[in-house]
Structure 1
Amino acid sequence: MKLHVIIPLCALLTLTQQTPSRDVNCRCELTHSEKAFPHDKLSTAEDSASKCNSNVTPQKTLELESLLLGLERRVPQLQEDVSVLEREDDGQLYSVLSLLVVENELLEIKQLINRLNRTMLAHQWLTTNTTNELDDLRAEMQELETYDTMQVVKRQQDNQRLKRDLDKCMHGLQPTTQPTQPPHGYCPHGQFRNVTGPRVYTAGEYPGSYAYGAWGRDPKPEAGKENFYWMVVLTSGNKFSNYVRFYSSLSALIVGVSTPGNIQIHSSNPTTNTIQGPNVVLYGGALYYNCYNQDAVCRFNLTTKAVTTLRLAKGTRFNSKGNFCHLDDCYLFTDLDLATDESGVWVIYTTTQDFGYMVLSKVEEPLALGQTWRTSVYKQGVTNTFMACGVLYATRYVNKDTEEIFYSFDTTTGVERFNLGIFINKMSPNIYSLNYSPVDQMLHAYCNSYMVSYKVLFL
């Protein structure tokens, strides 16, 4: 019995000694000839590019252009005032009033030049600093391009260049189709064709203070006020105001020197017959606006300080029930939009019986409702309207940088168009008021506390 146990143990010992060892190490060496990509340098280059984009903006260039434009318009006015003063010389004493006018002109020009000098110095420093940063950024990017051994970036750039050339070729071969629609009604300037600019971009004397407001010129100014600009800011919750502010010239508005200052409608704000909403216009020495808490147009006479009201049709939407809107936002208390053109004052609104579609009415002087037209465009699908030569134009929101004038309604022919395709370059995401000035063919926009103007081009 013991012999049988011993034999298997011996066999097991023999087999164990013959089995090879499994303790074997296997090593592979990988040789990589490429340099490690410097992610820290790429991150630094991205930060530098972002800093350049935030420092160099179109607004800064337009600020300088606005100041130059204001100076360009102010100097001829000074020459005219000096000529008046010379004509009043009787050999002994100049007119005290004319001397004061010239003194005020010189003071405002000096303030404008000082602000222009400060702006130019800031721009010179920004130009020098940005040039150095761009040179450093270019050198860093050239160094980073050496890591692109497979030339992926170069091929992408070549493809983009080829695509641009193809698009340019395709569009260049297609002739522009002439419009077949009947012409608009008579306009002394010709047919509305385009909008360029901005020509003026300024925060005025209240930078960043009042998001909603309106500004512009009187198409039918009183004697001695031909160069005046007016401004209304909604000082109570971006909804209400109780005064209109005047400036003797564009440069005075830019530098924030108000003459003759505020003309108050009422000491309280808001109260009966004060301003509600940003859609305000000035015409013939009177301010037209949506009366506080009413479906009515108010007319405030700047000379007599009297307020008269014009009640609109029954069912007119007001108190933010028929606003201008786009997909992301509606503009508070824009139910009634007042507009001016060569012929006078207009009001754009909507009613419950018109199911939200825009209605246009002529406001006759001194204050009466004239002819009314009904349109086929939904008011809450529109962001703003304005009038020019008896034609209603409507805008819509494209993106934060662009607004499109897409619609027109000709009150002479009754023709509507929905495909105008005229684009406005915005300086702020939202335009809260937009009004055409027939005095100089400019569009005056109020955007998030900034005053911006565009030149209207006629054919």
Structure 2
Amino acid sequence: MRQSHIFLLTVVIPVIFSKENSTRGKHCVCELQNADPAFPENKLNNVEFSAIQCSRNITSEKITEIDRLMLGLQHRIRQLLDNVSMLEKEDNGNLYAAVSLRIIELELAEIQELMDKLNRTTNDYQQQGLQTAAKFHDMTETMAELEKFDNLQIIAKERENEIIKRDLERCNEELNGTSQPPTLSPGHCGLGRMVNVSGPKTYSLTEFGTSYPYGAWGRDANPTPGNENKYWLVVLTSSNVYGNFIRQYNSLSTIILGIESTDTYISSSNPTTNTIQGSNMVMYANALYYNCYYTYSVCQFNLTTQSVSTVALPSDTGYNNKFPFGHLDNTYSYTDMDFTTDESGVYVIYATTSNFGNVVISKVETSNPPVFGQTWSTSLHKKSVTNTFMVCGVLYATRYLDKETEQIFYSYDTKTNIERYDLEFNITKRQTNIQFLNYDSRDHLLYVYSDAYIVSYEIVFQ
């Protein structure tokens, strides 16, 4: 849209009196003369025309055309691989089916055509980009020349106003970024808002040493009578992927010293049916909840009866290292499912293809066998996260900042369905990676397994 401008005119007004007949009276004639050069309206029209042309040439549909061609090419290549595999199965004495060979020949021709079209389109867009850049340079120079006619500095003032508006928006974003994360009402769990994560309070190498960097530890979030002070530890002793026993200690000091422990075996060896897969697991009501070996199912191992019950997640759930936690420098293998506890019970955090690899939260009803309660879908992509935990029905997610710092940056309130990506609670690390993290509602601590070390942090509430 063309802006209106006000120009300062130097006006020369010679007053000419003329005497006319009495019926018409006397008139003053004013002659206006503009002392400034004439405004080059044709240049402004040319800039406007060039801008319209650029808008027509560069559209979102054209920009995504290359993406569509790439997706089509990938699809045809996958289809070709499937057909070649089928052709190999039809081999009978080194003789292949003529029809299948003809189909593959046609598919190769179509793939070549797609590649030619992709190359032509890419070249056209490169040329168009160069032309548009040249036009933009010319338009910028012309507008700078036309701005000299703005004697009242209207454009300059508008530019200053835009800078002030942008600064105000940035200030508002910073204020919102430092606001407190959401929690359920204090009446639900009586904690108030999270304000800090302090620690570590505990930092100790396990009795297994540094050979086993993957594992989990903590306390039973809902212990049976007599087990209130016990701590549990699971290390993945097979390829950093599988575990088949739980080690329990009577106190924090005994787990730190690695003494007076009791082992309970889920299976006799690794990996096999009911084996623990991945490091994210929790203990609740004397039962361990974990990802069953090589399935998209939840396993519940009852330590009293030493029996296993299972319940299957949706069939499109990522498992077997499809949607693990991780960051740019590392992937935490086989962490497709994350089990967490809070004041109300057990949850499983996972991702599905129907939710585009984003995090899904399901409440696990701790019956025998377990069943799933309410489920929530989020917009948080699981592979962009290093771990999750729950507090008072709010899911929190962490990300890797550097070797010394992990950050709680995201929350999802299951009561209000409100998501936030602007949290900034930093966790000071002693080791580079965090393979396991869970919140204990009994002592408000985060229990962390970090490169073979057991660590704890305290969540500070307002």
TM-score by length of 2: 0.60
Say whether residues 1:422 and 2:428 are aligned partners.
no
Q: 1:189 to 1:306 in 2, by over 3 A?
A: same
Whole-Å separation in 1 of the counterparts to 2:318 and 2:183: 33
Contact in 1 for aligned 2:342/2:393 (Cα 8 Å): yes
How many residues are matched?
286
Q: Percent identity?
A: 52
Cα shift at 1:258: 3.3
Return the letter of the residue paired with 2:310: T
Q: 1:264 to 1:183 in 2, by over 3 A?
A: closer
Say whether residues 1:302 and 2:290 are aligned partners.
no
Structure 2 residue matching 1:253: 3-state secondary structure: helix
Cα shift at 1:408: 0.4
Which of 379, 385, 388 pairs up with 2:388?
Answer: 385
Alignment of 1:275-290 (within 5 A): 275-290=276-291
Q: Match of 2:442?
A: 439
Say whether residues 1:184 and 2:187 are aligned partners.
no
Q: Match of 2:293?
A: 292
Q: Match of 2:363?
A: 362
Structure 1 unaligned regions, length at least 5 = 1-170
Alignment of 1:23-422 (within 5 A): 179=179, 184-185=184-185, 186-259=188-261, 261-366=262-367, 367-422=370-425
Whole-Å separation in 2 of the counterparts to 1:176 and 1:357: 25
Structure 1 residue matching 2:212: 3-state secondary structure: coil
Task: Please identify runs of 4+ aligned residues in structure 1 that moved more than 2 A.
Answer: 174-187
Post-superposition Cα deviations, 1:4-27, rounded to whole Å, max 9, x if no partner, equal xxxxxxxxxxxxxxxxxxxxxxxx
CA RMSD in angstroms, aligned pairs only: 1.8
Cα shift at 1:176: 9.6
TM-score by length of 1: 0.60
Whole-Å separation in 2 of the counterparts to 1:180 and 1:401: 24
Whole-Å separation in 1 of the counterparts to 2:176 and 2:215: 39
Which of 452, 457, 461 pairs up with 1:454?
Answer: 457
Structure 2 unaligned regions, length at least 5 = 1-170
Contact in 1 for aligned 2:434/2:449 (Cα 8 Å): yes
Cα shift at 1:183: 5.5
Contact in 2 for aligned 1:271/1:292 (Cα 8 Å): yes
Contact in 1 for aligned 2:178/2:423 (Cα 8 Å): no
Q: 1:417 to 1:269 in 2, by over 3 A?
A: same
Contact in 2 for aligned 1:335/1:350 (Cα 8 Å): yes
Return the letter of the residue paired with 1:438: S
Q: 1:402 to 1:346 in 2, by over 3 A?
A: same
Contact in 2 for aligned 1:245/1:258 (Cα 8 Å): no
Whole-Å separation in 2 of the counterparts to 1:269 and 1:291: 12
Return the letter of the residue paired with 2:397: A
Whole-Å separation in 1 of the counterparts to 2:407 and 2:275: 32
Return the letter of the residue paired with 1:190: G
Whole-Å separation in 1 of the counterparts to 2:461 and 2:447: 17
Contact in 1 for aligned 2:229/2:250 (Cα 8 Å): yes
Cα shift at 1:180: 8.3
Return the letter of the residue paired with 1:325: G
